[in-house]
Chains A and B, each alone.
Chain A
């Protein structure tokens, strides 16, 4: 938790400072963000694929896990949809 908050805060601090500086840096930063999303997913894939324990249990426990994950996602999407209709409807 601490390093996560540290790196975001550090970035935000620098970003606030950059507001008054060059625009070109900002466009470059957004490209770096997209690139790191791909890198992270690739690395996650490698680590999951290389973990024999996880791969072996993917069939049995995996199906239950997928069901619970989908249920959690579906339930929270439903509440987000209701929230955005009732309270956040000034946007979109």
Chain B
């Protein structure tokens, strides 16, 4: 809980600095986020690579490990079907298409934008950005109350990159291996799902 609040505070501080243009110029560069991400991923890799026990989980779970990304995708669509009844301004297929981003905000919004659905592209960007942020902020709580698999499902496509460090930190390196698997499989699926669903719009 304390860590979630600290993470949230740091994020809000960034938002305020960004909004009032108080941040130094070199920080306002999306490329920098990318580089920090790579540094982070490298060290996460080192941390997991040195832990022999972590890799035993793939051997132990065998084909069952595919149930994690399958459950994540299915659960997301069930959530989209339910929430569709609450959002009157959007069509069912629009809600499902946006949800199909699975937290992956860059590619789906670019795909939708290029297909001519500009507003839906912004909606996809925000939705998936929110999903990533919600996962980052709530992982400590989710891991504690809903089981260690829950932050991985919540993170969707992001669990092999942005949300991986926080998941490893609060669920352990064994779950880090499941998280990478989940994220890689879903990240590969997302552009196909979004494109297919957008063709029905």
Contact = CB atoms under 8 A, between A and B. Distances in A.
B50 A72 contact: no
B68 interface: yes
Interface residues of B, number: 97
6 interchain residue pairs of minimum CB distance: A11-B45, A15-B49, A45-B14, A75-B79, A49-B18, A79-B75
Contacts, number: 282
B38 A7 contact: yes
Q: For chain A, which range describes its interface: under 10, 10 to 19, 20 to 34, or 35 or more residues?
A: 35 or more
Interface string B101-134: 0110000000000000001001101111111011
Contact of A69 (B48, B67, B74, B134): B134
Given A7-B41, A58-B126, A80-B72, 20 more contacts: A4-B41, A11-B49, A13-B49, A15-B50, A29-B43, A36-B43, A36-B165, A38-B6, A40-B37, A42-B14, A44-B11, A45-B17, A47-B18, A47-B33, A50-B18, A50-B19, A50-B23, A54-B122, A67-B83, A80-B75
B contact patch SS = helix
A33 B152 CA distance: 18
Nearest to B180: A8
Contact of B49 (A1, A12, A82): A12
| Most central of A7, A46, A83 by chain B CB within 10 Å | A46
A92 B148 contact: yes
Nearest to B24: A46
Interface of B: 6-7, 10-21, 23, 27-28, 30, 32-33, 36-52, 61, 64, 67-68, 71-72, 74-80, 82-83, 86-87, 89-90, 95, 98-99, 102-103, 119, 122-123, 125-131, 133-136, 142, 146-150, 152-154, 156, 160-162, 165-166, 168-169, 174, 180, 184, 187-188
